[in-house]
Amino acid sequence: MAVPASNANNPIVFFDISIGGQEVGRMKVELFADIVPKTAENFRQFCTGEFRKDGVPIGYKGSTFHRVIKDFMIQGGDFVNGDGTGVASIYRGPFADENFKQKHSTPGLLSMANSGPGTNGCQFFITCSKCDWLDGKHVVFGKVIDGLLVMRKIENVPTGPNNKPKLPVVIAQCGEM
């Protein structure tokens, strides 16, 4: 069931997801450009391929969700190393936490993964439940407005060591609506 965007002027991006080579559907995400414009723009450009390195588009297309923890979150966006260690941004390096106005109050919220204050890059996670202990530590910058079932399919993929999915969970296609 689709949820209306909270601000009609905010960009909406999408991920087409495959699990183990099977297409499972599309997630549409509203980016909170009205609240965290810098964070939203970084993510948007990695969805559209607008950001280029040496003339080549870089971003989320073909990257994976490398960490899945049921009842907590699904994490992806490391198109650098694919394992949670990569950092890249349209700002040429890690960037500061923009603000913590939005809280981790419900499932389906898009938030920046980081390794401490001011270390935002390309990695993100989507909450699978309320995660209020993350408030003030991770920047919430969007919400799934359609495709929560796809998120639940990812959440339920069997995992091995380090919560790595046993089947590849791939962003087969992505862009802006």
Asked whether the beta carbons of 72 and 154 are under 8 A apart, the reply is: no
Walk along the chain (177 residues) and give the pLDDT tens digit of each residue.
Answer: 566 668 889 999 999 999 999 999 999 999 999 999 999 999 999 999 999 989 999 999 999 999 999 999 999 999 999 999 999 999 989 999 999 999 999 999 999 999 999 999 999 999 999 999 999 999 999 999 999 999 999 999 999 999 999 999 999 999 999
Active-site annotation holds for 109:
no
Catalytic residue among 46, 51, 95, 125: 125
Residue 134 annotated among the catalytic residues of the structure: yes
The CATH code of the domain that includes 120 is 2.40.100.10
Helices (runs of H) and strands (runs of E) counted in the chain? 2, 10
| pLDDT of 6 | 82
Q: Which of 31, 109, 110, 134 is catalytic?
A: 134
72 is catalytic: yes
Is 52 marked active-site?
no
Name residue, tokens 């297409």.
23
Catalytic residue among 72, 100, 152, 173: 72
Q: Do 53 and 86 contact (CB within 8 A), yes or no?
A: no
Token pair 């414009």: residue = 37
Instruction: Give me the number of domains the chain comprises.
Output: 1
* Predicted TM-score (pTM) of this structure: 0.96
Q: Is residue 6 part of a domain?
A: no
Tell me the two tokens of residue 76.
Answer: 């992806």
Its domain, for residue 64, covers 12-176
Catalytic entry in 31, 67, 120, 123: 67
pLDDT at 75: 99
Say if 45 falls within a structural domain: yes
Question: How many beta carbons lie within 10 A of that of residue 54, not counting itself?
Answer: 5
Q: CB of 3 within 8 A of CB of 143?
A: yes
Instruction: Write down the pLDDT at residue 121.
Output: 98
DSSP state, 97? -
> How many angstroms separate the most distant Cα atoms in the chain?
41
